[in-house]
Structure 1
């Protein structure tokens, strides 16, 4: 009996050893060897380098930064002289991010310098034996975006409350700068717009692209706009309406950006002021109040007739645009142009001030037609050339799906309790 017990015990021990071996073999087969995670940026595997990331600080000098990271004088000199068209060491701007990729050994010598020109574009300096410099850009994903709104106070609020990029407000104001008086938007005015948003690596927001098409309803009147490129050689894009008419006019409505100012006094030939005993004192200009130093821009192309200081006008600029129209800009802090100088629409000709008879910082904008001062906000100003008849059929076919898309976008409105509602 004892012998039988010993035999059984031996069998159990042998089986146990086999099970343990099988178990160990199984464990060996499923063993996972983790590989290091590859971190890529700027076209490099960052695992191959010691990486230094920073931003340019006040007082930083490119040469000093390179010397600290063991780049010799000769290489620094070559970069500053041979590659200045690609990377100008003098334009080493405060706040710009950069990265230095250093050798992964005890010396940690800088091998590459990457300077971020903006969120998307960057410049690479190859600091190894054969010095080189080139520009590149991060992978960008473009996402279609539509937006709409009903204005209860002003355009900026209607857009910002929806979390839409503020550049959309700026772009809309530029598109309609010739046709809509943004200082007189009405409650209930509406807009629709579509454009593309940019994302780096699918997740990092990098801003909005120019508007592709828009619709604005102001005071019951409809304004369509479609981006269209006629001059493909120079890549000039203009905005036209549904009838192929150019939205751009000879004159901008205002000599300042609408978002920075307010109209403090309008053209009024019957104005009465308490200070003068309520006597009629005509105001033949439009006053735009803004912070001191706000840029004043030329509303149209022309030649500077005067840039001087005189009496109650203070410092001013007067521009002759053609045989019919002239404009004048009063109470400047300083002028930025001289008599005889040719200026283009949008050029900065001076800055908001309060020289002369002025109760606060503003520009008094005066507008002459055939030698008579008139109200520019009531003038039907000349428009730019429409699309040529030979191109009109192609243009109308191009905008047809865009217009259909605009018309199908519902309006989004922000209520007083910050709730978003939509209406067709």
Structure 2
């Protein structure tokens, strides 16, 4: 009997142990079970891309909207209907080679196109939506603006200084635009220094999208500090206006030069050996050497009084600015202005070339005062409209903090080799 009890107890213990073990195993997660990863949700252009088959490509030379849609299963009749419906928002005939586009397709076997997205530029895009009804709209990618400061020393050129500091070349263009009335960048000096407070745009907070604006700057040139503070916009062009620390406008009636970033190859002189005619004669202009095709600006507002070609001048344009001042631009590869046309300061009136009596690509810039040809760099030229007196108190208040912040940014040291 005793043995029977022992056997029964042993069996009962075994059953209880097995149940506990099973319970434990059931409650413990399986360590080797593979974890199914959920793909991250990707939203772009206002769509959840996970829901579509995504095709990304770039417009190529010879591509058309119809051909792209046809290659993706849309009939010609449907393409015509889409084009007619969206033509007020999206003109299929004006797609440009090099622009990216994205096509969203259904994931099912039909692979039907649900949307066509055309990138007008890095920020703006146009959507042709075919989901339910045909419609089109324009939108912008999310853009954030980051405020920054910078400092640098010019050892060769302004663009070279930007590159050395790891800054965008677009900043050099912006600075040149701000100071083009005050500083002759063809006379830029080694050792000139600059400091900036500026804003940059970023798409989705990471992809660089250019310079938003320069709030404040100071550029030392021949040891003189030239301050620039953004304040208001031009009522005609919409461009930002800049003034110095004494509320003087940085803009002048005339630009310092008729083109950007070049070099003066020959100045106004009463005696120069002509490289083509091989004789000594007066050179009543300033030559700016630049690559063929470089845009040439009108240095002030005016009316085009001549746009023609002669054996000596080549293609040239002449602009009368008022009863006192006239300018002329010679040796163009192509003219971009017609007689009688009104031009604004900075308008492109032609492109650098070497037509006429010229040995290399350049523009010869000539300047008349009261009908007499003179050297523009020896003239006391008029400034643009000054800041109104009633706006000066708010201007000084506006720049007070900016100047203090700008002055607190240290100048980069000038390398010993150029001191």
TM-score (norm 1): 0.89
Alignment of 1:23-422 (within 5 A): 23-27=25-29, 34-229=37-232, 236-258=239-261, 261-271=262-272, 281-412=281-412
On the 8 A contact 2:276/2:357 being kept in 1, the answer is: no
What CA deviation, in whole Å up to 9, does each residue of 1:347-392 have, x standing for no partner?
2222222223222121111111122222222322211111111111
The 2-side partners of 1:85 and 1:223 are apart by 48
Per the alignment, residue 23 of structure 2 pairs with 21
The alignment yields a C-alpha RMSD, in angstroms, of 2.9
The change in CA–CA distance for 1:104 and 1:149 in structure 2 (over 3 A counts) is same
Following superposition, the deviation at residue 269 of structure 1 comes to 2.7
On the 8 A contact 1:158/1:414 being kept in 2, the answer is: no
On the 8 A contact 1:229/1:235 being kept in 2, the answer is: no
What CA deviation, in whole Å up to 9, does each residue of 1:325-368 have, x standing for no partner?
11111222232223222222222222222223222121111111
On the 8 A contact 2:86/2:128 being kept in 1, the answer is: no
On the 8 A contact 2:304/2:338 being kept in 1, the answer is: yes
On the 8 A contact 1:240/1:246 being kept in 2, the answer is: yes
Following superposition, the deviation at residue 315 of structure 1 comes to 2.7
The 1-side partners of 2:233 and 2:166 are apart by 33
The change in CA–CA distance for 1:72 and 1:128 in structure 2 (over 3 A counts) is farther
The change in CA–CA distance for 1:413 and 1:133 in structure 2 (over 3 A counts) is farther
On the 8 A contact 2:61/2:97 being kept in 1, the answer is: yes
The 2-side partners of 1:204 and 1:308 are apart by 46
The change in CA–CA distance for 1:200 and 1:20 in structure 2 (over 3 A counts) is farther
The change in CA–CA distance for 1:316 and 1:15 in structure 2 (over 3 A counts) is same
On the 8 A contact 2:83/2:91 being kept in 1, the answer is: yes
Following superposition, the deviation at residue 76 of structure 1 comes to 2.5
How many pairs were matched up?
A: 414
Does 2:13 align with 1:11? yes
The 1-side partners of 2:317 and 2:275 are apart by 29
Following superposition, the deviation at residue 320 of structure 1 comes to 1.0
Following superposition, the deviation at residue 271 of structure 1 comes to 4.0
Structure 1 residues without counterparts, runs of 5 or longer: 418-424
The 2-side partners of 1:403 and 1:84 are apart by 50
Of 169-178 and 204-213, deviating more is: 204-213
On the 8 A contact 2:114/2:130 being kept in 1, the answer is: yes
What CA deviation, in whole Å up to 9, does each residue of 1:40-68 have, x standing for no partner?
11111111111111111222110122233
The 1-side partners of 2:16 and 2:141 are apart by 63
Following superposition, the deviation at residue 112 of structure 1 comes to 1.0
On the 8 A contact 1:250/1:383 being kept in 2, the answer is: yes
Q: Secondary structure at the match of 1:407?
A: helix
Structure 2 residues without counterparts, runs of 5 or longer: none
On the 8 A contact 2:324/2:370 being kept in 1, the answer is: yes
Following superposition, the deviation at residue 324 of structure 1 comes to 0.9
TM-score (norm 2): 0.90
The 2-side partners of 1:211 and 1:363 are apart by 30
The 1-side partners of 2:308 and 2:274 are apart by 28
Q: Secondary structure at the match of 1:239?
A: strand
